[in-house]
């Protein structure tokens, strides 16, 4: 405690506060060491690793079917998409072409995952900015998607529905109807979000021009997902390198040039509309076919290096597998979007106020377990 007395830096220029690892606005166990001058942020230093579980190392002792379940625990809000990334990588390595049915279902579920992730973003972002009602509205609608997941996948958040070569089970008979009902409902409800939060003067004043990052910097820092697209960096993997059924649907890549917190928010709001469009194009046309290819119980990938990237709700998730021909991967590496998106927080937040730091941090929509893995 003696040290604490010395540390109160009233004589110094900088006033250092420690946001996290237990802080309401860091959405997990992220620790930000913030130097302040008055209310102005001078420097932000993210400290990560509080939920490091060594997932990449653990993968080296697990079969590919088992790895799927670990990927759920990285970005738990994009659990289905994470599963899909590993499955696609394994299928690519084995040269398996899954049936169209699997592709369609995977795509629909991916987009549902994206919507529920953005709903949670909207909910928590409103809360970050002090609008507590948003949280309940967001969760109310997210519940409907989780119910669809529960029925078809068994899990609500941690779905583990994919498996190399297809899906665990076929879809539930109610799946199509419930999904269509949800789309119908959410098309009516989403404008409510805009009325409550987006159009609010205080909300817009809080966010416009805050935490701006331009296109060159966004590319240089490797920002992907809504964060990158808000800066005008066209980085949608679904568009540029289509996987599953994304080449069969038409949708727009949402791009803005401003690169501030408000447009990062706006990209996500628009993406929910696009996701609904994608689902509507697919949901009635799910072709008949096998829900899974016949796979060997033990999958051994041929020797070599494999890479597959997918677009999660937060950006590009890359899966790198190096195989030595064994049933376990020799090395497994995930390129997680959150880790990369967190990196430029310092240059985004410097010069703004501490309340803006919360707004910027929220607009990055970080999921901490994905950073730490």
Partner 1 sequence: MKFNIYDLTSFTQWIDSSLRASMSPGWAVTVEMIIIGLAILIFFALIGLFLVYAERKVCAFMQNRLGPNRVGPGGIFQTVADLVKLLFVELVPIKNADKILFNLAPFIVIVASIMAIGALPFAKGLQAIDLNIGVFYLMAVSSMGVIGVLLAGWSSNNKYSLIGAMRSGAQIVSYELSVGLALITMVILAGTMQLSEMIEAQRWGWFIFKGHIPAVIAFVIYIIAGTAETNRGPFDLAEAESELTAGYHTEYSGIKFALFFLAEYINMFIVAAIATTVFLGGWMPLHVYGWDGFNKVMDFIPPFIWFLGKTFGVVFVMMWLKWTFPRLRIDQLLTLEWKFLLPINIFNLLLMAFLVLAGWHW
**Residues that bind partner 1 in the complex, under the rule CB under 8 A:** 1, 4-5, 8, 15-17, 23-25, 36, 39, 126-133, 135-137, 140, 196-197, 200, 202-203, 205-206, 353-356, 358
The 3-state DSSP class for residue 158 equals coil
Q: Which is nearer to partner 1, 295 or 354 (CB)?
A: 354
- Identify whether the C-beta of residue 41 lies closer than 8 Å to the C-beta of residue 354: yes
- Least distance from partner 1 to the Cβ atom of residue 330, Å: 44
- Is 351:44 a contact under the CB 8 Å cutoff? no
CA dist., res. 234 & res. 254, Å (int): 9
Distance CA 371, CA 51 (A): 9
Helix axes of 261-283 and 100-128: crossing angle, nearest 10 degrees = 150
Shortest spacing between CB 121 and partner 1, in angstroms: 15
Nearer to partner 1 by Cβ, of 108 and 366: the residue is 366
Would you give the distance in Å from CA 3 to the centre of its chain?
A: 40
Q: Closer to partner 1 at the Cβ: 75 or 128?
A: 128
49 in helix, strand or coil?
A: coil
User: Shortest approach of partner 1 to residue 192 CB, angstroms?
Assistant: 11
Task: Provide, rounded to whole angstroms, the least separation between the CB of residue 18 and partner 1.
Answer: 8
Residue among 38 and 95 whose Cβ is closer to partner 1: 38
Render 61-93 in DSSP notation, one character per residue.
TS-HHHHHHHHHTTSGGGHHHHHHHHHHHHHHH
CA atoms within 13 A on the CB side of 72: 15
Q: Which of 342, 354, 361 is nearest to 127 (CA)?
A: 361
* Shortest separation between residue 349's beta carbon and partner 1, angstroms: 13
Closest contact distance (angstroms) between CB of 210 and partner 1 is: 9
Angle between helices 175-193 and 100-128 (to 10 degrees): 30
Q: How far is the CB of 206 from partner 1 (least distance, A)?
A: 6
Q: Residue 283 Cβ, how far from partner 1 at the closest point, in Å? A: 27
Which of 175, 365, 192 is closest to 279 using CA atoms? 175
Give the C-alpha separation, 182 to 147, whole Å. 10
Nearest to partner 1 of 8, 298 (CB atom): 8
Q: In which element (H, E) is residue 318 found?
A: strand 315-323
């Amino acid at each position: 405690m003696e040290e604490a007395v010395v540390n109160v830096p009233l004589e110094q220029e900088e006033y250092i506060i420690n946001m996290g690892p237990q802080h309401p606005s860091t959405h997990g166990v992220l620790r930000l060491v913030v130097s302040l001058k008055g209310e102005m942020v001078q420097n932000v230093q993210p400290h990560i690793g509080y939920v490091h579980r060594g997932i990449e190392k653990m993968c080296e002792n697990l079969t590919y079917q088992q790895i799927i379940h670990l990927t759920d625990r990285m970005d738990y809000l994009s659990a289905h998409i994470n599963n899909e990334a590993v499955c696609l990588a394994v299928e690519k390595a084995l040269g398996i072409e899954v049936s169209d049915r699997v592709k369609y279902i995977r795509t629909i579920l991916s987009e549902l995952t994206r919507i529920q992730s953005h709903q949670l973003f909207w909910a928590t972002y409103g809360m970050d900015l002090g609008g507590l009602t948003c949280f309940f509205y967001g969760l109310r609608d997210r519940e409907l998607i989780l119910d669809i997941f529960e029925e078809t996948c068994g899990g609500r958040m941690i779905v583990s529905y994919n498996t190399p070569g297809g899906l665990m089970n076929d879809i539930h008979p109610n799946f199509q109807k419930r999904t269509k009902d949800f789309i119908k409902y959410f098309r009516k409800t989403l404008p409510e979000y805009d009325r409550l939060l987006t159009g609010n003067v205080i909300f817009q004043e809080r966010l416009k021009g805050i935490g701006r990052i331009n296109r060159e910097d966004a590319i240089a820092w490797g920002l992907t997902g809504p964060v990158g697209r808000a800066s005008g960096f066209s980085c949608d993997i679904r568009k540029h390198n289509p996987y599953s059924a994304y080449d069969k649907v038409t949708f727009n890549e949402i791009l803005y040039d401003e690169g501030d917190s408000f447009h990062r928010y706006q990209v996500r709001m628009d993406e929910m509309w696009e996701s609904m469009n994608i689902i509507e194009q697919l949901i009635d046309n799910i072709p008949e076919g096998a829900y899974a290819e016949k796979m060997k119980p033990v999958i051994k990938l041929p020797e070599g290096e494999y890479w597959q990237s997918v677009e999660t709700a937060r950006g590009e998730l890359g899966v790198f597998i190096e195989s030595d021909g064994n049933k376990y991967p020799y090395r497994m590496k995930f390129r997680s979007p959150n880790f990369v998106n967190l990196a430029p927080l310092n240059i985004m937040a410097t010069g703004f106020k501490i309340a803006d730091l919360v707004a910027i941090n929220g607009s990055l929509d970080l999921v901490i377990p994905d950073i730490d893995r």
